[in-house]
Structure 1
Amino acid sequence: MALVTSLGSASGLPLSTLLSSITVSENAPLNALTNQQTAYNAKLSAYGTVQSALSTLQAAAAQLANPTLFQSIAPTSSAPAVLTATAGTTAASGSYSINVSQLAQAQSLATPGVANTASTIGSGTVTLQFGTVSGGTLDPVTGKYSGATFTADSTRAAASITINSSNSSMAGIRDAINSNKAMGVTATIVSDGSSSPNRLVLTSNTTGATSSMKISVSGDAALSNLLANDPAGTQNLQQTVEAKNAQLTVNGIAVTSASNTVKEAVQGVTMTLLGTSSSTLSLQNNTASVQTAITNFVTAYNSLQTQTKQLTAFSADAASHSYQQAPLAGDSTLRNIQMRIRDTMNTPQPALVGGTGAPLTMLAQIGVTFQADGTMAVDSTKLTTALNTNLSGVQNLFSSASGTTGFGSTMSTLLAGFTASSGPLSSAVSGLNSSLKTLATQMTSTQSMISTTIARYTKQFTDLDSLIAGMNQTSNYLTQQFAAINGTSK
């Protein structure tokens, strides 16, 4: 409430100063509540920081708890221009000699040329089938077969388009083919520079020997003469690119693929063929990913330790008899969380039965150790050696198929519980929010009482000021009258 700054001016009494002192005194309980509110909000913010750090650590632990992290394979090709590769979860380490003798190709056929792509050719129905051309001889100059047979691919249905007055030109036929995705080919017009330069080129959208084309035409002879093409009979189109399978050997074993993407020729591996030549495909355990995951876990753990140390700090100044404390200094919720994390990290894991190396049960065995300040440090050399010589032991140290053992599994479960909606942090936050709500009610009530009290004092002081001012006026009047009477008597 605003003070009456002229209060006391009439009476000459220090009523304004007195009212200010009373106001400060009456506001003391409200100031205490405000300070408490500030402390609660600081605690809420601190809990949010802890929650974020725990979530980051939990994500790092969950990655280490996943057994597939330790089973990942990194493929390397000695000749990336010949092939590249990716590995799935079923891939195993090993080395393979790959020789690519032929890449898969998609067949291309070219029609005879026409002078004008907009001129009418004819009408009818064009039907296209995919299949395999076998036997016979291919003339490399004319691009046509003699004595060959065509076997339709039973897994793919024939597709047809209708040619009429709306699309009877070469450009119209091209557009009709491309608009019908079921045809499975792409049509383009190529100019060869001759007197009738425009040739319609059909290219299969699928590579492999089973994707050779047979085109049947029912309708005008002109349309048939342009498009009809039976590898085992009349061929009006020229084959410019033969449909071929990829051919390669894997450790001397012949492999055929309709696509240049070859899957499972090596278990769990997908190879992409890019050229014809030899390459060595090496499959090694991807220890770099494991090492990164362990380092990320240590970094997240150290970040949590640094933040909790800052949030629980306490300092005292003996000279001034004062102290300062962080929002969570002495906080039992955070102290219990820290204690349970330390206990979990110091609990030995069960030794791996049937592993390839010495049993690993503690982090120190792989070069991850605790420091005097509570943080962890990584001996990269020792960790690299453990990963290269005893990967199964490292896997057991962090994860398990059951998800109940391993530092990654146990820490992930523990931390998920801390950050869950029913966890200790959520309970502490709920308690603070409840206290803040109660505090807000108390502050509103206290402010109302203070306002009422100050208003009462203000009225009383105003009345007192007016009363004394009136008495002073009476006193002055009487003094004047007495002086006048004395003057007359003389």
Structure 2
Amino acid sequence: MVRIGGLASGMDIDTIVSDLMKAERIPLDKLTQKKQVLEWQRDDYRSMNTLLSDFDDYIFDNMTLQKDFLKKTVTSSLSSAVTATANTNSGNVNTAIVVDKLATSTNWISNSPITYDQNTFASDTVIQLKVTNGDGTQSMVTNSDGTKSDVIELTIKAGSTLEDVLKQLSSKKELGINVFAENGKVAMTKNDTGSGSSITIVNEAAKTLFTDLGFQDVANSAVPSTLTATTTGDNAEFTINGLATSKASNTFEINNVTYTLNDVTNGKAATISVSNDTDNMVDKIVQFVNKYNEMIEKINGKVSETRYRDYQPLSDEEKEAMTEKQVELWEEKAKSGLIKNDSILASSLTKMRTALYSPYTGTGGNSDFNQLAEIGIKTTNNYRDNGKLTVDETKLREAITKDPQAVFQMFSGATRITTTAADGSTSTKDSTVLSELGLTKRLRNIISDTVESIEKKAGKLTSSNSQFLIGRNIVDLNSQIDRFENRLTQIENRYWKQFSAMESAIQKANSQSAYLMQQFA
């Protein structure tokens, strides 16, 4: 369409049409503002979900497993000779250990020069060996059909070099040996310790291999035959709390305590003391309380945030007329209070408070320590804190020292319910009764429900707009905006058509006037 910009009338048609369209665009600006508010609101909801999920991850990583929560402290009076670690099921004990001898490994060294070369086996050859470990147990392999066998097989490829063969022997985990060649001899060492180690040659191919590796003691022996050890391994010999005993390994477990013997004690006793790691448990609970307080402070801040309804999102033109700082301050108020008094978040906070205040009556509970108040955790006296917790560390430490298992169960325990299906199969899951769930399990359930509800309303990063409520509203607004922009185009074209017609009429009148004036002249 040809647009005539006021040449005949002398009027600034561009400015007039622009001003008229500003008035026409007011409803469109409101739609755009409404869309922006929804997007900000969506982002606020998602930030709350991120906050909740982060707290949930913290609980899972730090408060769920007993091994992370109920740790033990172990000390040794002779740490250079004996060290130990204890799992959560160990008792608080003192153990005296006198180490007389350390466990050692068995060695085999060839007694003749190596004659093996790449021509030893003209074709791929299977060698068969049997291995007894240092503790006297037989090393087993699993066959392709799932059966177990004590015959360990290796296939030596035709043309394999000495280095290839030694590497293959060392890498076969069922053999459990370290093999190397030096100065024309082959040395083999059992990876584990103990006096029970042995290697048996099972077939003729294995006999040929080890003969060529220099183990002449099997050259004239019928198979199966056992290699003669150069140095026989020893069992560790020690006295524990007065009882003389021996072990094939220098590392062994007794009553959930794992001991490691590093040296003989020359008649002295190493005292190993196991106790509860109270500091670890106190730290875990204090950190949990701090994380909880941070989370509810941010959520409470959002649901009580002031809403400034006079501050609507700025248009591009309005932003251009303001400084960056002015825009920042304006948008700070425009974004404020978008999820004020949200029912999902407010309900979640109430449920969390109820969950933390309710006593634990599930498996492993202790009526003396089944509520937070009984271990020194209470809400603050300031009502403006909206349910924040405070910790009396002295009382908490006393409770943990007295019954750490009960404190752990109050936080992370649960009564387990076993159900039997019609086909006879059974399944076990946590009870659905609130009091029979530990505090962290209750919180995780509430967080899971809250996150799900918010995702239905505001989605997540991977969600399309059609998958959540706010997104569907944005889609609807986008459709309205598109339709309104088409309508504005039509209105603007109409204005220009009308002004162009006026300009044409004025031009025509001017031409006629000029003609008449010419005639009269």
Structure 1 residue 480 displacement after superposition: 3.8
Correspondence for 1:488? none
| Contact 1:73–1:92 (CA under 8 A) maintained in structure 2 | no
How far apart are 1:442 and its partner, in Å? 1.0
Q: Following the alignment from structure 1 to structure 2, what is the Cα–Cα distance between the partners of residues 247 and 112? A: 31
Q: Paired residue for 2:15?
A: 17
C-alpha separation between the residues in 2 aligned to 1:172 and 1:338? 66
Unpaired segments ≥5 residues, structure 1: 134-151, 192-197, 485-490
The aligned residue for residue 103 of structure 1 is 102
Amino acid at match of 2:39: N
1:200 to 172, 183, 186: 186
Which residue identity does 2:443 align to in structure 1? M
Q: Superposed, which structure 2 residues align to 1:450-469 within 5 Å?
A: 450-469=488-507
- The aligned counterpart of 1:401 is 414
Q: What is the aligned partner in structure 2 of residue 211 from structure 1?
A: 197
Indicate the residue corresponding to 2:451 in structure 1: 419
Aligned to 2:263: 275
State the SS of the aligned residue for 1:112.
coil
1:334 matched residue in structure 2: 345
Q: Residue 111 of structure 1 aligns to which amino acid in structure 2?
A: S
Secondary structure of the residue that 1:202 maps to in structure 2? strand
* Separation in 2, partners of 1:155, 1:77: 34
What is the rounded CA distance, in whole Å, between the counterparts of 1:469 and 1:14 in structure 2?
16
Q: Corresponding residue for 1:444?
A: 482
Mapped contact 1:74–1:87 kept (Cα < 8 A):
yes
User: Within 1, Cα distance between the matches of 2:5 and 2:121?
Assistant: 110
The one of the two structures with greater contact order (alpha-carbon pairs below 8 A, sep at least 6) is: 1
Instruction: Return the alpha-carbon distance in structure 2 between the equivalents of residues 250 and 21 of structure 1.
Output: 98
CA distance in structure 1 between the partners assigned to 2:279 and 2:110 by the alignment: 55
Q: 2:147 is matched with which residue?
A: none
Other structure's SS at 1:186 match = strand
Q: Secondary structure at the match of 2:89?
A: coil
Quick one: which amino acid aligns to residue 290 of structure 1?
M
Which digits, 9 at most, give the CA deviation of each residue in 1:325-358, with x for residues without a partner? 3321233332222333233334454599984x94
Q: Is the 8 A contact 1:333 1:428 kept in 2?
A: no
AA partner of residue 186 (structure 2): L
**Which residue pairs with 1:314 in the alignment?**
306
Between stretches 106-115 and 152-161, larger displacement belongs to 152-161
**TM-score, scaled relative to structure 2:** 0.71
The alpha carbon displacement at 1:27 in A equals: 0.8
- 2:35 is matched with 37
Q: In the alignment, is the contact (CA less than 8 A) between 1:61 and 1:411 conserved in 2?
A: no
CA shift for structure 1 position 213: 4.4
Distance 1:227 1:388 in 2: 61
Change (3 A) 1:426 1:78: farther
**How many angstroms apart in 2 are the aligned matches of 1:392 and 1:175?**
50
The count of corresponding residues between Structure 1 and Structure 2 is 446
1:479 aligns with 2:511: no
Matching residue's letter, 2:500: T
Q: Cα distance 1:170–1:11, how it changes in 2: closer, same or farther (>3 A)?
A: closer
How many percent of aligned residue pairs carry the same amino acid? 23
Cα drift, residue 211 of structure 1: 0.2
Q: Secondary structure at the match of 2:103?
A: coil
> Take 1:153 and 1:332, find their aligned partners in 2: how far apart are those partners?
65
1:368-390 CA-partner distances (Å, limit 9, x unpaired): 54354333343444433332234
SS at match of 1:210: coil
Shift of 1:87: 3.1
* Residue type at the aligned position of 1:445: R
Uncovered stretches (5+) of structure 2, i.e. residues with no partner: 141-149, 311-329, 416-429, 431-435, 460-467
> 1:102-151 deviations in whole A, cap 9, x for unaligned?
22221112223549987999999987655599xxxxxxxxxxxxxxxxxx
Matched ranges for 1:57-456 at <5 A: 57-62=55-60, 63-64=62-63, 70-112=69-111, 114=113, 130=131, 157=150, 174=166, 177-178=169-170, 183-191=175-183, 198-213=184-199, 223=211, 226-229=214-217, 240-263=230-253, 265=254, 267-277=255-265, 278-312=269-303, 313-314=305-306, 325-349=336-360, 355=366, 358-363=368-373, 365-370=375-380, 371=382, 372-374=384-386, 375-402=388-415, 404-420=436-452, 423-427=453-457, 429=459, 430-456=468-494
Q: Give the match's secondary structure for 2:234.
A: coil
Other structure's SS at 1:314 match: coil
Residues 1:128 and 1:35: Cα distance change in structure 2 (over 3 Å): closer
TM-score (norm 1): 0.75
Q: Distance in 2 between matches of 1:42 and 1:83?
A: 62
TM-align CA RMSD: 4.4
Residues 93 and 479 (structure 1), Cα distance of their counterparts in 2 relative to 1, 3 Å cut? farther
Contact 2:86 / 2:256 at 8 angstroms: preserved in 1?
yes
- State the AA in 2 paired with 1:91: S
Partner of 1:195: none
Conserved in 2, the CA contact under 8 Å of 1:186 and 1:203?
yes
Segment of structure 1 superposing worse, 181-190 or 467-476: 181-190
For residues 173 and 296 of structure 1, do their structure 2 counterparts lie closer, same or farther at Cα, with a shift above 3 Å needed?
closer
CA–CA distance in 1 between the matches of 2:155 and 2:501?
107
The Cα shift of 1:314 comes to 1.0
**Greater Rg, structure 1 or structure 2?**
1
Tell me, in whole angstroms, the C-alpha distance in 1 between the residues paired with 2:289 and 2:64. Answer: 14
| Counterparts in 2 of 1:253 and 1:419: CA distance versus 1, 3 Å | farther
Q: 1:88 touches 1:269 (CA, 8 Å); kept in 2?
A: yes
Counterpart-to-counterpart distance in 1, 2:364 and 2:180: 64
Cα shift at 1:360: 4.4
Farther off after superposition, 463-472 or 388-397: 388-397
More strand by share: 1
Equivalent residues of 2:348, 2:446 under 8 A apart: no
Shift of 1:229: 3.8
Say if 2:13 and 2:499, in contact at 8 Å, map to a contact too: yes
C-alpha spacing 1:409/1:223, structure 2 compared with 1 (3 Å): closer
Question: Which digits, 9 at most, give the CA deviation of each residue in 1:389-425, with x for residues without a partner?
Answer: 34244235423331533322222221121123xx355
The amino acid across from 1:200 in the alignment is V
Shift of 1:162: 10
Separation in structure 2 between the aligned mates of residue 350 and residue 289 of structure 1, nearest angstrom: 25
Structure 1 window deviating more from structure 2 (47-56 vs 250-259): it is 250-259
Give the distance between the partners of 1:33 and 1:119, measured in 2 at CA: 84
In 1, Cα distance between equivalents of 2:441 and 2:172? 53
